């Protein structure tokens, strides 16, 4: 009969909440953190390998962060500014210019960053004119929030919300190869060289273990309290002694005193 007590609305609601929370921990939150840990590990491995590898001529499909060389010319008339950037913890703009290779293909080049002056793009040197050889790191396109297109600011410069070759291609009408090249220090055309990410694993693995622990604790806690409630006298038990009212306790005390007085 006590099992019927577990079908009460309050206990069913608690059970549903525990199931939803534990399921989210095991199938969503912990895997999400494991995925972030693996992504960070992959990035660290790629950066570490790129530091000792010799630069190779650019070609489609190069591993991200790999040092590559390319020869061609900057198409300055198609320059685009990436806004709302953060470099080394401070706000920045990044200057991107399509780069036509000697074989006619076009890749997007990130020349580096600029610090804003009164929230505006400061003056900066143009890229080299004519055929130029560059040294850069291969990067994957960033995700463009809401797939927003470029716009022209009050100074006449095109601005975008992400370093994304597809967005720049739409804005300029050029056929640009996927990904982009991030110029290295002392390379012709570089502005503020973008630093490499720090090689730390981050807290994602420990976060994943914490979510697993939280889910397990919720399930174990539910099992423990279910067992407690099924015992005689539990909160859900129908066999608990009826709680006495204040009037009943006073009446019992008076009866006990009268009985004591007559003895």
pLDDT in tens, the chain (263 residues): 456 666 778 788 888 999 999 999 999 999 999 988 888 887 777 777 777 788 999 998 888 899 999 999 999 999 999 999 999 999 999 999 999 999 999 999 999 999 999 889 999 999 999 999 999 999 999 988 788 999 998 888 999 999 999 999 999 999 999 999 999 999 999 999 998 877 777 788 899 999 999 999 999 998 888 887 777 655 555 455 566 666 677 677 777 777 777 76
Residue 233 sits at φ, ψ, to 5 deg, of: 90, 0
pLDDT on residue 7: 72
User: What is the rounded CA–CA span in Å between residue 187 and residue 123?
Assistant: 19
pLDDT on residue 170: 95
Rg (CA), the chain: 33
DSSP annotation of 192 reads B
Cite the DSSP H helix spans in 53-137. Answer: none
Q: Does the pTM exceed 0.85? A: no
Cα separations in angstroms, 115 against 74, 102, 112, 119, 136: 22, 32, 10, 9, 21
């Amino acid at each position: 009969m006590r099992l019927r007590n577990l079908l009460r609305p309050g206990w069913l609601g608690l059970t549903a909440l525990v199931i939803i929370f534990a399921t989210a921990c095991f199938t969503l939150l912990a895997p999400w953190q494991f995925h972030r840990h693996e992504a960070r590990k992959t990035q660290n491995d790629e950066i570490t390998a790129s530091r000792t590898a010799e630069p190779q001529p650019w070609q489609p499909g190069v591993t991200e962060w790999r040092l590559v060389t390319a020869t061609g010319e900057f198409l300055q008339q198609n320059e685009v500014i990436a806004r709302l950037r953060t470099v080394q913890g401070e706000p920045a703009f990044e200057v991107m210019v399509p780069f036509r290779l000697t074989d006619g293909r076009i890749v997007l080049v990130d020349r580096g960053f600029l610090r804003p002056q009164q929230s505006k793009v400061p003056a900066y040197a143009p890229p080299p004119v004519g055929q130029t050889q560059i040294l850069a790191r291969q990067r994957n396109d960033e995700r463009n929030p809401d797939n927003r297109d470029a716009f022209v600011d009050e100074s006449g410069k095109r601005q975008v919300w992400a370093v994304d070759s597809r967005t720049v291609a739409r804005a300029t009408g050029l056929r640009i190869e996927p990904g982009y090249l991030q110029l290295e220090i002392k390379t012709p055309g570089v502005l503020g060289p973008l630093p490499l990410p720090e090689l730390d694993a981050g807290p994602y693995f420990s976060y994943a273990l914490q979510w697993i622990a939280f889910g397990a604790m919720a399930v174990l806690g539910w099992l423990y309290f279910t067992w407690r409630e099924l015992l005689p006298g539990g909160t859900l038990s129908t066999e608990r002694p009826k709680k006495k009212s204040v009037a009943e306790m006073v009446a019992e005390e008076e009866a006990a005193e009268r009985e004591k007085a007559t003895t």
